[in-house]
Amino acid sequence: MNDRVYIPIGKHRQVSGILSLPRTSGEKTGTGVILAHGAGNDMNHPLLVTLAQGLAQAGYLSLRFNFPYREQGRKSPDRQEVLAATWQQVYHFLRDHRHAPRTIIAAGKSMGGRVAAQMVAEGLLPVARLIFYGYPLHPPGRKEKLRAAHLEHITIPMLFFAGSRDSLCDLPLLQQVLERLSAPWVLEIIEGGDHSFRLPKAAGVSQQAVHERIMLKTLHWLGGSREGSC
């Protein structure tokens, strides 16, 4: 079941969200996942929709939402402080909702995941785990400009999905970063995938099939041990 919700992010502003509830949901559910979109898309990105549907079928609640710039139809992302404040308000909205899960996990595609990670590192987002769908480790062609220092301050389990052709996340560099972390982590590599997990046509695999694979890997991680690394 999907419920359209409106999340206040200030006195006179709000953003849209979609709360996906499992069929067996009562007033409380065990685990909920907040799904944040990337810089160039919104909460209706096909990957996020597939994840929300798969989570609900497996008994997990999920909440996907728009950042203000997408809510207003703009293409350029909001300032970091606006993105972070929105993430925080969405977390509070779900925490206080009548269907609030006992455990909340933060997940995000590219920018959405990076902002969540920075907030967790600063103690501003008290979630149980983090999931990254295409972590933007560096700008395209600028491998020396790593966006990774905050990851070393995170202590909760993390799941990373990375395409082997991702121009924003060089795999050897990501693996070097992960090996320095003290928190448990798992890395799932999408062979041939770019930053949006698109495979070359020659691969003969549909985008929906890739999204479903990512969803199944996510469910396996959520249902498995919180410990261990790759």
Asked whether residue 77 carries a pLDDT value surpassing 50, the answer given is: yes
Confidence of residue 25 (pLDDT cuts 50, 70, 90): low
Confidence of residue 147 (pLDDT cuts 50, 70, 90): confident
Distance in angstroms (rounded) separating the CA atoms of residues 44 and 54:
15
Q: For 120-154, give the DSSP string.
A: HHTT----S-EEEES---S-TT-TTS---GGGGG-
Using alpha carbons, select from 24, 29, 13, 39 the residue that is nearest to residue 63.
29
76, 69 Cβ separation under 8 angstroms: yes
Confidence of residue 79 (pLDDT cuts 50, 70, 90): very high
Average pLDDT of span 142-158: 92
- Range in 19-23, 26-30, 150-154 the model is least confident about: 26-30
Residue % of the chain over a pLDDT of 90: 88
98, 27 Cβ separation under 8 angstroms: yes
- Please name the amino acid found at residue 61: L
The pLDDT score that the predictor gives to residue 228 is: 35
Confidence of residue 230 (pLDDT cuts 50, 70, 90): very low
DSSP SS3 for 116: helix
Most confident range (mean pLDDT) of 50-64, 135-149, 213-227 is: 50-64
Average pLDDT of span 102-107: 97
Asked whether residue 74 carries a pLDDT value surpassing 80, the answer given is: yes
The pLDDT score that the predictor gives to residue 227 is: 36
The pLDDT score that the predictor gives to residue 113 is: 97
5, 21 Cβ separation under 8 angstroms: no
